[in-house]
A and B are shown apart, each in its own frame.
Chain A
Amino acid sequence: MTTTELTKKDMLLESLNELDFSNEPQFAQDLRSNAKNALENLEFPTSKTEYWKYTRIGKIINKTYGIQHEASDSNIAITPYLIPELDANIVVLVNGFFRADLSKIENESGLNISSLKDAVNNSNPFVENSLGKIAKAEKELFIALNTLCYTDGVAIEVDKNAVIEKPIHILNITNSDNLISNTRTIVKAEENSSIKIIESFVNLQGNESFTNNVSEFFLNANSNLEYNKIQNKNGESYQISTEQAYQLKDSNFTINTITLQGTLVRNNLNIEVDAEGCETNLNGIYLGEGKNHTDNHTIVDHLKPNCNSNEVYKGILDDNSVGVFNGKVFVRPDAQKTNAFQQNNNILLTDDAVINSKPELEIYADDVKCSHGSTIGQLDDEAIFYLQARGVSKRSAINMMITAFVKDALDRVSIPALKNYIDLKIDSRFN
């Protein structure tokens, strides 16, 4: 077994070895070589790996991928991927590279958005100090893989007291078939600052391509960061996405994960709450169809007292699709007066759809309020008939009930245009 797995890893690394990072500053090269060492000790997960128990990654690793070596200048119409009626800074990544020509960035006072590659090459102090600090290569194979060969991405810094109203919309586009891309996002919200980010993962063709992206979020005291992840890749597509957040005193971190499409999507969210008075919101919607497989793994680690975390994930699984939810909350001995609430609700539209739901609490403090719940059900046939009996088509009735079901997982999306956009995507899916 071991030899074949090594071969797969080697094969994957072989194509990535063509990437040349020798011009990068020393800190960046050190990070990459550290990741390379970490990879020596990490293996692809198997069905015996608890963290990956319900998600087989054979589909991803049994393929050979090509890579893109540098940003191309091919023209891409990005309008179809924009969110209507949204005034945002648009950051476009194509096949792993920042495209200044397609982006529309106006850095206002207190905000600095740049390509990660530029930030690294300019030895941006924040990037130099923070890259890889919370998404650690030795922790996980796909983080290590990304750290070894990320090509580009986005670096965002929000200065102290800067409240940025205009959201940043990152369009992460794949438009080549059989391509592997490793993108990376790093965000720092300074004291008392506020920022909202949307990242859409989409493809234009890009069949059988694999996106392995990693994001790191640093929240300083009393900052506010909302990250909305929209996964909407059609055809055969694979994505492993890791978001790592670190929260300091009185900060507020919200992450909304909306998985509309994708053959195999795995989301790893890890949030370290390392100071008092923090709030953490993790919400998600996943719509499975065909044979799609969507896996959401979340960890909230409460290290300090007086913090709240809320988690609501809602899944609608159609056809032969499979969903996985594993939400873990740690309440460490110091974290007294923690309120942690976690909920995962699923509707299976067919007899063949599957959900593996596993909410977990590990509590080491004695004065906490924690709850978790998981439900699996079908749409209520009586309710569908009731709506039909008033003249509503069966399709509309089902759509109304699905929309009603998923609605409260959208409560933390604070950008109205985005909320409408997601509503419409859900509507058009079931209409």
Chain B
Amino acid sequence: MLKIKDLHANIEDKEILKGINLEIKAGEVHAIMGPNGSGKSTLSAVLAGREEYEVTKGEVDFGGSDILEMSPEDRAREGLFLAFQYPIEIPGVSNINFLKTAINETRAHKGQEAVTAKEFLALVKEKSALVELDAKLASRSVNEGFSGGEKKRNEIFQMAMLEPKLSILDETDSGLDIDALRIVANGVNTLKSKDNATVVITHYQRLLDYIVPDFVHVLYNGKIVKTGGKELALELEEKGYDWIKEEVDAVS
């Protein structure tokens, strides 16, 4: 579904990603872990199409098309979803209305008919229940006045509404208490199917107790330096990142 080959990316002439290789297939859950500043958020930003990052080398193939050539909205319409680490507050723009536009523009992109008001409302009801998001919150301005936990639940609500092929959760666990974490994880797990895939970017192993990964990758200094199963996350939790840094630094 997603093939990243030798991806290099800069921000303001500073190289952050230094040759990422990663393949994700449908039905899989991948976790990307790593110390601060290793490039985790840069990777998600580059995949989602943030303009500040310049891709200097490499390829990213998503479902057969070169994603790096696409606008952020076209990537989303093709089925890529990024759950933001810091969801943005947008006063005056209704959460529901913007999602309706997003769904209809995506449908138009695929040559499908617009969703009817009735279908849409049914969808909102069903999906907001999934993440226990109050219907009132769903129809308020995007994230305005939401608590940290509500913002993250709203991200998963939007993900549920848009039904992406590939979801990247960027530090979705940051700032969540254990109950909110469980609700968010439950939402993600319910949406999981053999046709979609999830990438969980996180610092801590805690989230991976709830969203169990098939693969764990360690990102360090702009490269994936280690890949393993879910037990790698436990090992990192126990031993920290220093042993990996030493391993990598010794080789280079």
A: which residues have CB within 8 A of B?
Answer: 380, 382-383, 385-394, 396, 400-401, 403-405, 407-408
Contacts and interface: CB of A to CB of B under 8 A. Distances in A.
A383 B88 contact: yes
Q: Is the interface of A mostly helix, strand, loop or mixed?
A: helix
A388 B93 contact: no
Nearest to B45: A385
Interface string B48-73: 11110000000000000000000111
Contacts of B72: 385, 388-389
B87 interface: yes
Given A388-B73, A391-B102, A391-B105, A407 B87 contact: no
B202 interface: no
Interface string B74-109: 011100011010011111110001110111011001
Given A386-B87, A404-B90, A408-B92, 6 more contacts: A385-B50, A389-B49, A390-B102, A392-B73, A393-B73, A407-B92
Given A396-B105, A400-B101, A390 B162 contact: yes
Interface residues of B, number: 33
B158 interface: yes
A380 B92 CA distance: 13
6 smallest A-B Cβ distances: which pairs? A404-B92, A391-B76, A388-B72, A391-B102, A386-B88, A390-B102
A407 B97 CA distance: 15
Interface string B123-160: 00000000000000000011000000000000000100
Contacts of B49: 388-389
Contacts of B105: 391-393, 396
Nearest to A405: B92
B88 A380 contact: yes
A392 B101 contact: yes
Nearest to B107: A391
Which among B71, B75, B89, B90 has the greatest number of chain A C-beta atoms within 10 A? B90
A217 B81 CA distance: 56
A386 B76 contact: no
Residue of B51, B73, B91, B92 with most chain A CB atoms under a 10 A cut-off: B73
B93 to A, nearest CB: 5
Given A390-B102, A393-B73, A400 B93 contact: yes
Contacts of B92: 401, 403-405, 407-408
A401 B93 contact: yes
Contacts of B91: 404
- For A387, A390, A404, the residue with the greatest tally of chain B CB atoms inside 10 Å of its CB is A390
A55 to B, nearest CB: 30
Contacts of A389: 48-49, 72-73, 75-76, 81-82, 84
B90 A386 contact: yes
B82 A391 contact: no
B99 A386 contact: no
Contacts of B109: 391
A407 B141 CA distance: 13
Contact of A386 (B71, B84, B97, B106): B84
10 contacts: A382-B88, A385-B51, A387-B93, A387-B98, A389-B81, A389-B82, A391-B76, A391-B106, A392-B73, A394-B73
A248 B50 CA distance: 57
Contacts of B76: 388-391
A1 to B, nearest CB: 48
Contacts of A387: 90, 93, 98, 102
Contacts of A401: 90, 92-93
Given A382-B88, A386-B84, A400-B93, A394 B71 contact: yes
B98 to A, nearest CB: 6
Interface in B2-36: none
A389 B168 CA distance: 12
B101 A396 contact: yes
Nearest to A399: B101
B216 to A, nearest CB: 25
